[in-house]
Amino acid sequence: NKCALLHEASQSSVDAGQAVTVLTYLHGVKEAQMSIEAIQEEGFDIDLIELRSLKPLDMETIGKSLARTNKLVILDESTKSGGVGATISAQVSEELFDLLDAPVKRLCMDDAPVPYASSMEKAVVKRGDDLIQGVFDLCLGAY
């Protein structure tokens, strides 16, 4: 039931404050993996953690990563209110707040019904491009 660290940020990016912990699951893992190269090309990096269980949530693995990066992005396919990302963000804020240098960045769907048409669904579900921008925003202090 543990989380899995799929990609570890380079120590040089961590030392420079240019690394972010990314928590995601299911399709978000693929989106994040496809975004790593673009993130690294801009001089940033990520600790990519796949959430394999939401309850219990592996706070030990998340805490170890946040102790290195001090920044968190949650890439989540559910809605912003009442979704998985909201619950994880709350738990991280309650238990690991002292490790955060910036607010938790949640990349979630807007609070609206999920469209049936796949073309419309792609427009509302956050993707790799949203993750890249979220990492840049956190590293550059645009939050």
Whether 25 and 83 have beta carbons less than 8 Å apart is answered as no
The domain total for the chain is 1
CATH assignment of the domain containing 36:
3.40.50.920
* Mean pLDDT of the residues in the chain: 92
Read off the pLDDT of residues 90-132 as tens digits, 9 standing for 90 and up: 999 999 999 999 999 999 988 888 788 888 887 788 889 999 9
For residue 74, what are the CA distances in angstroms to 67, 95, 106, 119?
16, 16, 5, 23
Whether 111 and 80 have beta carbons less than 8 Å apart is answered as yes
Domain hosting 58: range is 4-139
pTM: 0.92
